[in-house]
Chains A and B, each alone.
Chain A
Amino acid sequence: MSERLPVRKTYKLFIGGSFVRSESGRYDRIAGGAGGGVNIPRGSRKDVRDAVAAARKASGGWAARTAYNRGQILYRFAEALESRAADIGAERDDVEASIDVLVHYAGWTDKLQPVLGGINPVAAPFLSFSVPEPTGVVGIVAPDAPPLLGLVAELAPALAAGNTVIAVLSGERPLPGLDLGEVLGIADVPGGVVNLLSGRRDELAPALAGHHAVNAIVDASGAADLAAAIDKLAAESVTRARHPAPATSYAEATADPLSRLEGLTELKTAWHPVGA
């Protein structure tokens, strides 16, 4: 009796809740996988535009969910990742830290408003209050390493704050990020809320930063030349740009969670007359 032939996985981009090939038809052969090498899609500028459109479409609904509901979905995401930990093509530490980061930020969804907002003691007869709202559509450029935590450390706060995301995955090790798409698919995260693109970072990150429907870009790649290029493109439509150092541990990812969260929120102040 011959040994059973394994079913190999076809890696795809994750856009709008669907697993799709790059519209360009391009792929890269990288080391790894059961066959000693796998093909991964090399995303294109058009894929970036499709992913932004999907994220924009999902944005209103995700932002309108209650903080409690978003917290439960993020926690569900952590549960799903824990149950699939063995299936993620990353080191155990990397996966476990990522799970804990998701749990940490799941608890932030309904804390953000009391910490950042409040009623303003204005010197006139008005009820004036300020509340944080999601910035909108966020582009994330993940570092090469660690391949999963480097992504999740930026993804989790973006989602907790109510944003939708397009992420450019680690260039060196995109498989953990692509595997994460399958976890998202079973974690009740609505389609389009997270979009994952593999490919050449130098091609995808500028397309993301220069897209006028992207409201903020978080570049954790640590690449200095890319940072300047991203900033310049971001300036075309006043896109918020941050360049955090790649998080390499749970402690680093959660050392100052508030800065990660507040950088992806907009404070809205409302005024309402009291009395006549």
Chain B
Amino acid sequence: MATQEQRTKIVWDYAPAPESPEHVRLRDSYGLFIDGEFTGPSDGTRVESINPATEEPVAEVAFAGPGDIRRAVQAARAAQPGWAALSGLERGKYLFRVARLMQERARELAVVESMDGGKPIRESRDVDVPLAAAHFFHYAGWADKLSYGMGGRAVEPLGVAAQIVPWNFPLLMAAWKLAPALACGNTAVLKPAETTPVTALLLAEIIQEAELPPGVVQIVPGDGAAGSALVREPDIDKVAFTGSTAVGKDIQAALAGRGIPLTLELGGKSANIVFEDAALDQAVEGIVNGIFFNQGHVCCAGSRLLIQESVAETVISKLWDRMGRLRLGDPLDKNTDVGAINSREQLDRITALVASGEEEGALRRSVACELPDRGYWFAPTLFTDVAPAHRIAAEEIFGPVVSVLTFRTQAEAIEKANSTPYGLAAGIWTDKGSKAFEVAAALQAGVVWQNTYNKFDPSAAFGGYKESGFGREGGMSGLRPYLRVAS
């Protein structure tokens, strides 16, 4: 081990390459976006949104109280018949405008996303923002073709959609929720996550600039209480939630007996399976992308690494080497691979789970990198000697921590991959095509990446099996949750 630990201390010096925040036009304070206007909270509060890399405020943001939530739902209700009465083409044109404005303001959105959430600018610039714009572009084109996407059935919108998004991909998740809902003729009340509301408010500005009719979109930041109030509002017709399985279950129970359609995109403990016949260097890159992308704050992160015994030592050694070259630090630096942990609370959760891994007897290795003095950070971490019953092998950590398990046969790999209540995603690494497709078919997971990981596209369905949720987002199947079949 000694030689390996030394090797991790090799530092490749890069000149700092910070993305300039100068073109960012942030207001000091943002209101709630209700009925086409930014308004002050009536019974809510004002909270500073914190940059997790510096612990400095990004902007002050209004948090909605229950009265504000009610007001937002009423505005959405009032606007819905008019929005649904527009021709599909006209609704689509509004959404195309939003997509275009997002592209125009892409650089600004990317910088703010990295400031508010801590993710590396390379990710917000190359993944989050372009994909968010692409989602609007994709669903804009569906707005006048809805029945084609529904097997030829005559369809109608549900009405008012209540949507709650998480903090790991704040703008992208807002786009995943809003674009299909609006294309289908629904109006929406979207609640961004407590720690990352700012880019959703920039999206509200874009919606204003695109001149969407007032009330079509409400954006109401707030904490868990605001989300809880939103799903309990009497006058909603749809709930869509992305977040933890625990909160998803609460929402499902809260809607019991109400007959309100629900989409849940919840947690995961996804298996990334490396077979002995894989291209190992390529697999190591995929493992790194699978678990360290966005600091592991990814519901489909490849957090359970299953390696075939015959190559386990080699893969672990290569992975540990590669981990030593990851650059952790300033999210706005274009060379950064691993940014800041999203919040103090999340850092505490990761720290506690990692401690449990050590206590339960797994072998922990964390990259010996210098962590900045301020902000929330966690060094990329690898666990070996992991038993399936360990908490780090069973529970979602949602951080840059990968747990390695091994297997001997393909059947054992499938059995281990499936033996979890979750079923969101999986990765398969093998150079044998027939094996890749056979294993993919046997995995209980909504997304299976073969010789790749963490790929997303607006035309491709995304969503979970089992306790990872139900309903799909993306593509044709993403329309279904926002439409009813006309009777």
Contacts and interface: CB of A to CB of B under 8 A. Distances in A.
Query: Is chain B found bound to chain A in the same assembly?
Result: yes
Contacts of B365: none
B457 A123 contact: yes
Interface in B423-451: 423, 433, 436-437, 440, 444-451
Interface stretch (B156-164, B247-255, B347-355): B247-255
Contacts, number: 121
Contacts of B445: 268
B38 interface: no
Contacts of B465: 135, 266, 268
A212 B420 CA distance: 12
Nearest to A234: B252
Given A123-B134, A235-B256, A272-B451, A267 B463 contact: yes
Contact of B457 (A128, A227, A238, A243): A128
Contacts of B459: 120-123, 128
Contacts of B150: 258
Given A228-B256, A271-B455, A130 B477 contact: yes
A202 interface: no
A237 B467 contact: yes
B470 A238 contact: yes
B472 interface: yes
Contact of B259 (A236, A243, A273): A243
A120 B475 contact: yes
Contacts of A121: 459
A236 B249 CA distance: 6
A252 to B, nearest CB: 11
A57 interface: no
A240 interface: yes
A124 interface: yes
Given A215-B466, A259-B485, A270 B259 contact: no
Contacts of A116: 151, 477
Nearest to A127: B450
B451 A240 contact: no
A271 B459 CA distance: 12
A231 interface: yes
B153 interface: yes
Given A120-B461, A122-B459, A270 B450 contact: yes
A258 B151 contact: yes
A269 B446 contact: yes
B257 A228 contact: yes
Contacts of B252: 231, 234-235, 238
Given A120-B459, A237-B467, A268-B447, A273 B256 contact: no
Interface string B462-474: 1101111110100
Nearest to B251: A235
A151 to B, nearest CB: 22
B266 interface: yes
Interface string B134-161: 1000000000000000110100000000
User: Which 8 pairs between the two chains have the least Cβ-Cβ distance?
Assistant: A228-B257, A231-B256, A235-B252, A122-B457, A235-B253, A120-B460, A232-B256, A238-B467
Interface residues on B, range: 35 or more
* Chain A binding surface, main DSSP class: mixed
A3 interface: no
B437 to A, nearest CB: 8
Nearest to A129: B460
Please tell me the size bucket of the interface on A: 35 or more
Contacts of B455: 122, 124, 126, 128, 271
Contacts of A122: 455, 457, 459-460
A75 B462 CA distance: 33
Interface string A108-138: 0000000110101111101010100001100
Contacts of A238: 245, 248-249, 252, 264, 266, 466-470
Contacts of B461: 120, 130, 267, 269
Q: Which of A121, A126, A136, A270 has the most CB of B within 10 A?
A: A270
Contact of A270 (B266, B448, B457): B448
B249 A268 contact: no
Nearest to A225: B257
B421 interface: yes
B446 A268 contact: yes
Contacts of A234: 252
B249 A235 contact: yes
B277 to A, nearest CB: 16
Contact of B446 (A232, A258, A266): A266
11 contacts: A124-B455, A229-B257, A231-B256, A236-B253, A243-B259, A267-B472, A268-B465, A270-B450, A271-B447, A271-B448, A271-B460
A270 B447 CA distance: 6
Contacts of A130: 460-461, 475, 477
B253 A232 contact: yes
Contacts of A118: 476
A159 to B, nearest CB: 19
A262 interface: yes
A267 B451 contact: no
A224 interface: yes
A165 B472 CA distance: 23
Most buried by A among B150, B436, B440, B465: B465
Interface string A204-220: 00000000100100000
A227 B255 CA distance: 11
Contact of A231 (B255, B264, B447, B451): B255
Interface-centre pick from A115, A128, A228, A234 (highest chain B CB count, 10 A): A128
Contacts of A115: 151
A273 B469 contact: no
Nearest to B245: A238
A240 B264 CA distance: 10
A232 B257 CA distance: 8
Contacts of B42: none
Interface string A12-43: 00000000000000000000000000000000
Interface in A227-268: 227-229, 231-232, 234-238, 240, 243, 256, 258-259, 262, 266-268
B134 A269 contact: no
Given A120-B475, A258-B150, A270-B449, 13 more contacts: A116-B477, A120-B460, A123-B459, A130-B461, A130-B477, A136-B444, A212-B421, A227-B257, A235-B256, A258-B153, A267-B472, A271-B450, A272-B451
